[in-house]
Structure 1
Amino acid sequence: MSVSDPGFLEKIVRYKQYLLVALLGGAGAVLFSYSKDPALSPGTAEDLREAAFAMLATALALFIAEIVRKGYEELLSTTVQSTLEENLRDVRLSKKLLTDLERLRDVETETAVSEVLSVKLGIDEDDRLTGSLNKMLDGLSALKESTHWAKDVYREYLVDVIRNTAQNTEALCALSTEKFPSQSGQGIKLTPSAQRTDEILAKLMSTVGPGSRYSVLSDLESWLGGNLETFFSSSRVSAEQGVLIRRIFVVLDADFRRRNGALNTENAFEVLGEHIKAQSNRQDVGYHVRLYVDHGPKAQLSGELQPMIKKHFGIFEPSHDDPCVQVRVEEPDLSGLRLINLPRNSIDQKKFEFFWQFLEDDLSAERLETERWRWRAAESAAS
């Protein structure tokens, strides 16, 4: 057969196409095998499988088209295009199926939890523990899908609480199952509310980011005994990185007259002195502290601001267009923590602004020394 023979040239073209089929098929098989590597992320594995399916489908189309259509190029390209489109449609359908399965899995979560508890503990589906665990799983799932700026803070907080519960469960199990448990066995760790509050405030402060603001009304008793130490450290770092922190301490003479109160002149002086050291020179960023006392020319507040002296709250205002988060603490021991989403320019924010402007000047060491003598006099009058 001559090289110029059309039949010979047709065979050469056909052999080349067979070689292309082999290469595409081999590459597709390699990609598909590699996509099963457990070290790959789910997204990467799915992309590799999609590419593998496309290569294998194309190779199959080329092979069938060459056998059936005997090399007619135009018809071959049409078939290949059609096959690829069908393959991609199948991939999209597969993705939709996976989405439907995930949604079905979420719907069945409550039933699954009930079944697990029934097998493990003999608990029926109406038990309070079942309801609590279902709420916890639903909440964690909702946090995963949330776009709120503080969602990772909330999730990390919950993970810490769950980890603590798991550790306590292990310790209690050892006590109840071992006939003679070790005297040096694992202890029960009950995390104080002050520590939990300190941790979540510190994480919020670290997350809010440069250009944001934190405006807060504080009492002094909440800061005694090393409370809020982590939060204070985080606040100083954030202030240096461009967050504007404005804190108003409300200190009343009656606080020093309580015979069994934790607050006294010296620890008040010490706490406020540490906050003065953290203050910044620039007014637009950094850490700033002002002091309200119920004596002197700045003691008379307007009727609108008067209720503010009994409140203790802070407002995180992110620089981006996200909701503000207000933190409220009901007791000086930092228990009763409440987190509330607020719109921009809320009433509490506006009242804080009025209060801040009313006090005019940041707290200075000289002013604090003057107040120290006044507080000592208040203590003496009560004794």
Structure 2
Amino acid sequence: MQNEPLAYRMRPRSIDEVAGQEHIIGTGTALYRMIKNGHVPSMLLYGRPGIGKTSLAHAIAGTSGLPFIALNATTSGKKDVEQVVGEARMTGKVILFLDEIHRFNKLQQDALLPHVENGSIVLIGATTENPFHDVNPAIRSRCGEILQMKPLDEQDIRQLIRRALDDPDRGLGRMDIRISDGQIGRLAEGSGGDARKALTMLESAVMASDDEGGVTTVEDPILDSLIGRSGVFGDKKGSHFYNLLSALQKSVRGSDADAAVFYLAHLLESGDLIAVCRRLLVMAYEDIGLANPEVGAHVLAATQAAERLGMPEARIPLSVAVIEMCLSEKSNSAYKAFDSAAARIHAGSTGEIPSHLKDAHYAGAAALGHTGYQYPHDTPIGEFGGWVAQQYLPDPVKDEAFYKPVVSGKEKKMAGIHRKLKEYSHKK
């Protein structure tokens, strides 16, 4: 057993040994009480890698005493599922832990789902993807619990590290290891809430340290090296990546420059520059819009520069663009106007284009009644340019107001012009 990785050896043996996840498996939760009373429901565990999904499944099996079988949906076939079904028939009930369950194919489902439904197989599925987007409805409907797991906080990680240092059977307790509270804290902080990463870094630090007279002393330079190359979590094109994009946009929309730069850094470290640039361009027009139209051009220039430069230099123009958007006036009136107009079109309220707006650049147009258009440039109005009062919308929607100005930044002037023109139109 000592040849297995420390993170594997230190998996909890029962639900009472699970670190963190109090919202799911704390002593007062319904799931904790069900399992303690001998009932294990089928469930989906959703969360980022290293968060403890596999460990929780092992802990549930350890507490319930039911036979436990682990499969990975990316490598298992119908034959593997049939073996699980056969085991369930022999023993009466088994727990099947299925990792990467969002990759479950139809043949596997067809073989397994009836047995999940009748209760002979308790399915514990794990996924890093949003189960409401990526897990088949047939599986979701048979899992009574869809549980979103959270990253462990530093205190939980500290507890796991100390448990590994003290445990003489599964952990490092047989070794005389000198490691300070500060160093344990650095490991906990550098793990990013990932228990597996924390224990892997601890084991690597111990194995890389000198043993003098039976005493192993962990040194700071070794920790610096391990934490520095441990990386960041960024499941490119996965749920967490899109959550980061969402957090970036909402931070910009909320004008929080610190949060926006933080999420930008996380996204760029995760490694999809093109997707980040695309989202920044969307934000420039969706959230800044008419309040500061120049921002769109600024962000386009920044994203083009970033794509040409590549990382790490791309961070420079993109950080400028993000902070400018954060601190700019904001308006979503333009695309809201479009969405409102599109909704009327989908509802069938299109009507007939007014005759004076129809194409008249051909012989016979007058005979069809395509006349009466007044050329606005022939009627100057102050410093605005040309304008004339005439109907542009079809009759069924002629009184609709799709554009509702936001009095913000440069749109404030546009809103005043819009209001005045509406007043002139009503006086005609």
Q: TM-score category by the smaller chain?
A: under 0.3
Relative to the length of structure 2, the TM-score reads 0.23
Relative to the length of structure 1, the TM-score reads 0.25
Compare the two structures and name the one with the higher helix fraction.
Answer: 1
